[in-house]
Structure 1
Amino acid sequence: MRHLKTTAAVVLALATTLLGAGTASAATDDVTWTVRTASNDLGDSRTSFSYDLKPGATLDDAMVVANRGNAPLTLKVYAADGFTTEAGQMDLVTKDAESIGVGAWVHAERASVLVEPGKTAELPFTVQIPENATPGDHAGGIITSLTQADSDETINVDRRLGIQIKLRVDGDLKPAVAIEDLSVGYQGTLNPAGKGSTEVSYTLRNTGNAILSGSAATSLKGPFGWFKVSAGQSGLPQQLLPGERWKVTGTIAGVVPSGRLSATTHLLPVITDAAGSTTSLPAISATTHAWALPWTLLLVIVALIALIVTAVVVSRRNRARRKAREDARVEEAVKEALQAQ
């Protein structure tokens, strides 16, 4: 008998503004279902769940599951904390991982649900904020999960569909972000008169208690502010949760190798409120320095200097040899004249 090995979260879709009108769907050869927010006093056709609650508050809401397949569908239901993936998007931790925020505060009325073909089921859940909850933004989601064996029955695949939950706990909102470990490295070119490129890397760390996004750019300049060049950084996350770090790397082309470079990264943080409106925060910056030397040109100059020095030395040696030969000839002529007397 072969043992089955489980792989978690192979398929996950979150209903957010990126997916349209709050609906996420998953399909296999024999299973199709969708999830969406319920229409109630909290809103209609919501793209996700978003709450602004006080510590100790309780709120009831619901998610709707629709079975688009031809067979009954039994799904597990649970909540989980959110995190930012390497692709810069939000994901949810697996069921076996510990949740200490949204995943621990959201409680589904049922741990599983049976949905008949072509039918829908409403899944109520309760949000309970602890009295000692940390003020600020918290992210997570409520998930429906289906575990199935793959075709060769060697692994189990956990397919999850969920709806994102953004929760802001009332209190002092202190959005803050830091640029850490900024470094630049110049890469030259074989063309002695050409320009090179600079590799830029740094880490963004959300040091506050609000979910942030933003845009960033790095500028380079040589001595006295000469040869300035700048470029925006891509690959920033759609959102960075409180306490998270994000590594940013990029390349700036057209850099003149002018000696000691000054590199400054500027970040414009953006905060989004519960209604989806964005507000820009004061920009922050970080500066570092690096050397950008035209090594090919320096090698050419060194080679030219070496040739000149060699030519001078050879010329002096040749003059010394000629003088020595002339002196020897004169000395020999004087000797012959003396002997002739």
Structure 2
Amino acid sequence: MRPSVTRWKTTTAVLLRTAALSLLAAVAAAGVGAGPALAADGNVAWTVRTASNGYGEARSSYSYNVNPGGVVEDAMVVANRGPAPLNLAVYAADGFTTDAGQLDLLTRDKKSVAIGAWAKAGAGNVVIQPGKTAQVPFTISVPDNATPGDYVGGILTALTQANQTEGINVDRRLGIRIKLRVGGELKPNLAIEDLHVTYDGSSNPLSKGVATVTYKIHNIGNAALSGKQTLSVSGPFGVLRVRAGDIAAPPELLPGESWNVSVPVRGVAPAVRLAATATITPLLTDVSGSTTSLKPVQATAHGWALPWMLVLALVVLVAVVVGAYLYRRRNRAQRKAREDARVRDAVAQALGGREPQTS
């Protein structure tokens, strides 16, 4: 696998000094492969792979089960495919899931607290001649007080070169993933949080619209988990239920990580009050690669889905009815006032123009 590249430059200071730029290794779910990392001028290339030993041969990544206080010793093989000698830095770093759903590793300027702190290479640098390989040993020492559960990081090689054209330093990295499960009680658990449903209908009260359901999948356990998702939207009492199509599985989330989901559900009737139900079945993968489905987790949220044109028509109808009622009431009051005035005039005339007396 070829390493992906991420760059950054300083702002105005780039005119005065060399800026730092990091090209991050692409660490997929199965770990980094042995594809070459190429320098900007194409004159340097190297590969990395796992060493063949008691842990296995041709491994795509490193996976271990270790109890607190345990120690792991393993090695990485680095090959120089270029025409010039290589002086590579070697170090370990903690892993994290990016917004794109890929596993990445912290840069050297970021502090690691787990695998990046527990794993130490046999040497901080390795020099490899053209066409040669070198085996780089490393040791992972798990603290006695390490919390049980899954940890992910990586062992990395890095080459820093100056880019004369852009006036910056380029840090190229290539590494291999390390997945470590610390012994103890495993508590795999996913939660569905911040579930919301909104509705977008049309001007036709008889047509159907789109309900958009958003939520966050949060790994609140101590094991790395992915999952299968299902989603449905229904009206009151579960009527007019519509199920969403296939929903992409979230990436494998490390303990404490979360993943935002937004799913449009089409063909939803404007049933006034909607209920959106999201279900995720956690998937737990052990060190051997076997996957187990856990108990599904479910959450429900409600939202309004009003047929606005129908509501507007009802409002107009109510306004007309109320207006007609008030108009008739005012007319009755005016007629009564006119009748009362006529009676008073008649009585006054009968009394010879005198006002009637009241006692």
Normalization by structure 1: what TM-score? 0.85
Structure (1/2) with the larger strand percentage: 1
Q: Deviations over 1:164-197 (max 9, x none)?
A: 0000011111111111111111111233321111
What residue is the counterpart of 1:134 in the other structure? 147
Asked if 2 retains the 8 angstrom alpha-carbon contact of 1:88 and 1:236, the reply is no
Q: What is the Cα-based RMSD across aligned positions, in Å?
A: 2.5
1:120-269 aligned at under 5 Å gives the runs 120-232=133-245, 234=247, 236-269=249-282
What residue is the counterpart of 2:348 in the other structure? none
Tell me the secondary structure at the aligned position of residue 47 of structure 1: coil
What residue is the counterpart of 1:330 in the other structure? none
Matched, 1:80 2:93: yes
Q: Unpaired segments of 5 or more residues in structure 1?
A: 321-341
Query: In structure 2, what is the Cα distance between the partners aligned to 1:16 and 1:45?
Result: 16
What residue is the counterpart of 1:65 in the other structure? 78
Query: In structure 2, what is the Cα distance between the partners aligned to 1:89 and 1:16?
Result: 7
In structure 2, the CA distance between the partners of 1:140 and 1:168, relative to structure 1 (3 Å rule), is same
Query: In structure 2, what is the Cα distance between the partners aligned to 1:90 and 1:59?
Result: 22
Match of 2:34 among 11, 23, 42: 23
Query: In structure 1, what is the Cα distance between the partners aligned to 2:309 and 2:34?
Result: 58
Matched, 1:274 2:270: no
Matched, 1:2 2:16: yes
Stretch of structure 1 that moved more, 224-233 or 129-138: 224-233
Query: In structure 2, what is the Cα distance between the partners aligned to 1:250 and 1:49?
Result: 35
1:96-107 aligned at under 5 Å gives the runs 96-107=109-120
Asked if 1 retains the 8 angstrom alpha-carbon contact of 2:24 and 2:105, the reply is no
Shift of the alpha carbon at 1:275? 0.4
Shift of the alpha carbon at 1:83? 0.6
Match of 2:54 among 28, 38, 41: 41
Asked if 1 retains the 8 angstrom alpha-carbon contact of 2:28 and 2:102, the reply is no
Shift of the alpha carbon at 1:154? 3.0
Tell me the secondary structure at the aligned position of residue 203 of structure 2: coil
Amino acid of the structure 2 residue aligned with 1:149: A
What residue is the counterpart of 1:335 in the other structure? none
Asked if 1 retains the 8 angstrom alpha-carbon contact of 2:275 and 2:301, the reply is yes
Shift of the alpha carbon at 1:144? 0.6
Asked if 2 retains the 8 angstrom alpha-carbon contact of 1:4 and 1:153, the reply is no
Stretch of structure 1 that moved more, 78-87 or 219-228: 219-228
In structure 2, the CA distance between the partners of 1:154 and 1:189, relative to structure 1 (3 Å rule), is farther
Query: In structure 2, what is the Cα distance between the partners aligned to 1:55 and 1:232?
Result: 44
Tell me the secondary structure at the aligned position of residue 113 of structure 2: coil
Q: Unpaired segments of 5 or more residues in structure 2?
A: 1-14, 333-359
Normalization by structure 2: what TM-score? 0.81
Asked if 2 retains the 8 angstrom alpha-carbon contact of 1:216 and 1:232, the reply is no
Identity %: 53
